[in-house]
């Protein structure tokens, strides 16, 4: 009986591999072919989006039997994603969401765990897309600026950790000189926030969750944040914002600002309150770490001299030796350069960097999350990511408010 089950498992995996080879799906495709196909396969049994389906089917013209089977029976019965990725889509979802500026899927991981189904994802970085596809079985679409908002399926919640950019008032001044009226949406043109705004305007999801660095509030003397809030309100949303710290969910001091909005202005919402005792940093450490993560004598001497120089000038810049009974500094995307912000002391030798797996743990990622890229890319990806455990708690509050 056990042997027969193993045989079926092997056959299923082989079938999936053959399908993938036939479709020639690759996360490096420049024409988003793989994004259309994987999005269609993951959402064919739900409503999806007509435009997305039309393009995906055109790419699948060499596999008509697959199209028919997916349409009739659902992708899980034809292309068994559960055998290929650790985090397949939820079979019976409670809500839908989209994942913009998706990175490696920190938002998706949290909201999928809460019962949500991702119906669209977008990420421009090639290496992040490789990690995303390896874990979720879906290749994100590329540059959000090139995506027609009409191709994005309807959804209940929009999720985005967007980059912070200054807003130019040149276009507004020109409109004023021509006697034309303008709104706050016009003031965001040329920025990546504008793409979030145009999608909100076109698709009108019931809620959104946006994340950014805490300095967004003071950026450009507060003008940037004011324009963002006014734009979201102009689009019809009731907006809440708060700075949250990851240290209550993982042993890392990481402050980020979150904006949560609802179309229904009667919705009552409260951000999660710190309710956990911070973990000790030792809880995320690996045993028997390779010596390649230990700093060389040259780098360690450089970091010490650099710290002494800035200390003499009254600055706080320098390396950070973590107390394994406490919490660490913020993991950043520059960690791959020298690891200076989070160094683990070692007996009888120089300190060492974190391993990629330790970075994953420091951001709340489970052990089953795959890391298919180089250490350099992994450091960048986890440094740019959200803390998934914090996002899960925040998501629980958002969903509770939507369902009240």
Catalytic residues: 164
Q: Which two tokens stand for residue 17?
A: 């591999």
Which of helix, strand or coil describes residue 208?
Answer: strand
Give the CB-side neighbour count of residue 207, counting CA atoms within 13 A.
Answer: 22
Q: What is the DSSP secondary-structure string of 222-272?
A: GHHHHHHHHHHHHTT-EEEEEEEEGGGTSSB--EEEEEEEES-TT----PP
How does strand 349-352 pair with strand 344-346? antiparallel
Contact 56, 36 (CB under 8 A): yes
Distance between CA atoms of residues 12 and 57, nearest Å: 23
Distance between CA atoms of residues 382 and 388, nearest Å: 11
Identify each DSSP E strand in 94-251 by its residue range.
Answer: 95-100, 116-121, 157-161, 207-213, 238-245
């Amino acid at each position: 009986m056990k042997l027969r089950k193993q045989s079926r498992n092997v056959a299923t995996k082989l079938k999936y591999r053959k399908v993938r080879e036939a479709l020639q799906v690759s996360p490096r495709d420049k024409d988003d072919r793989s994004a259309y196909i994987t999005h269609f396969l993951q959402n064919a049994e739900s409503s999806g989006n007509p435009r997305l389906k039309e393009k995906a089917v055109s790419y699948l013209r060499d596999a008509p039997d697959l199209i028919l089977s997916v349409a009739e029976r659902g992708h899980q019965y034809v292309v068994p994603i559960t055998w290929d990725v650790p985090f397949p889509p939820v079979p019976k979802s409670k809500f839908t969401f989209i994942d913009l500026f998706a990175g490696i899927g920190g938002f998706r991981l949290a909201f999928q765990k809460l019962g949500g189904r991702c119906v669209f994802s977008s990420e421009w970085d090639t290496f992040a897309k490789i990690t995303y596809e390896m874990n979720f079985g879906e290749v994100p679409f590329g540059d959000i600026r090139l995506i027609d908002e009409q191709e994005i399926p309807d959804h209940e919640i929009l999720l985005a950790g967007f980059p912070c950019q200054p807003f130019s008032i040149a276009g507004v001044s020109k409109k004023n000189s021509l006697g034309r009226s303008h709104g706050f949406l016009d003031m965001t043109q040329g920025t990546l926030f504008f793409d979030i705004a145009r999608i909100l305007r076109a698709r009108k999801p019931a809620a959104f969750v946006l994340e950014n660095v805490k300095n967004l509030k003071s950026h450009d003397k507060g003008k940037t944040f004011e324009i963002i809030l006014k734009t979201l309100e102009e689009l019809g949303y009731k907006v809440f914002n708060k700075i949250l710290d990851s240290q209550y969910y993982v042993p890392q001091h990481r402050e980020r600002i979150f904006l949560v909005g609802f179309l229904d202005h009667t919705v009552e919402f409260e951000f999660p309150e710190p309710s956990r005792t911070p973990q000790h940093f030792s809880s995320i450490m690996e045993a028997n770490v390779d010596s390649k993560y230990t700093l060389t004598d040259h780098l360690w001497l450089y970091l010490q001299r650099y710290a002494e120089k800035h200390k003499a000038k009254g600055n706080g810049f320098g390396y950070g030796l973590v107390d394994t009974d406490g919490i660490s500094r913020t993991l950043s995307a520059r960690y791959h350069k020298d690891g200076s912000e989070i160094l683990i002391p070692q007996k009888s030798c120089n300190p060492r960097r974190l391993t990629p797996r330790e970075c994953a743990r420091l951001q709340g990622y489970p052990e089953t999350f795959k890391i298919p890229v180089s250490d350099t890319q992994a450091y960048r990806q986890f440094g740019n990511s959200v803390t998934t455990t914090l996002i899960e708690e925040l998501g629980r509050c958002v969903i509770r408010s939507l369902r009240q």
